[in-house]
Amino acid sequence: MLFYWVPAPYAGPKGSLMEPDEQTSQPITLADDGFDLAVERYDLMVVDCWAPWCGPCMTMAPIIDELAQEYAGRVIFGKLNTDENPATTERFGIMGIPTFLFLQGGNEVERIVGAVPKHEIRNVLDHFLEPQ
């Protein structure tokens, strides 16, 4: 059974472990440990690479929360603190934050760097959600 860290309110006390919810409407917290298991599980995931000292990251946080609610059941959103997770940050070559990684089956298919309008992220998501 796969368990990983998720933010409140899903986690109860901060840092509690719980089983992931396929219909989650809030971003999950990702870490170096277990990153691959978490991201490979989903058809489409957006990973918000951020840090607490980053002003543009804080600006994007509510937008990511809104998109997680709008796309619940179709897209999973995750948050990766780049300061606390250097291995994953280095592996994906994150040079500036915020960076938004779009992953399908754990493989990067798109990337957006910097604070962008909500519709730019929505356009990428809609492209990957269109029937092929």
Identify the active-site residue in 30, 45, 54, 75: 54
Q: How many domains does the chain have?
A: 1
Q: Catalytic: which of 6, 45, 46, 57?
A: 57
Summary mean pLDDT of the chain: 85
Domain membership of residue 132 (yes or no) is no
The answer as to whether 26 is a domain residue is: yes
| Segment 63-106, tens digit of pLDDT | 999 999 999 999 999 999 999 999 999 999 999 999 999 999 89
Q: Identify whether 54 is a catalytic site residue.
A: yes
The question of whether 49 is a catalytic residue gets the answer no
> Global pTM?
0.82
Residues spanned by the domain of 15: 4-127
Query: At 56, which CATH number?
Result: 3.40.30.10
Query: H-helix or E-strand containing 87?
Result: helix 86-91
Domain membership flag for residue 92 = yes
* Residue 123, domain member (yes or no): yes
Judge whether 100 lies within some domain: yes
What is the tens place of the pLDDT at every residue in 19-35? 444 557 899 999 999 99
The CA distance from 74 to 93, in Å, is 27
CA 27/CA 77 separation, integer angstroms: 5
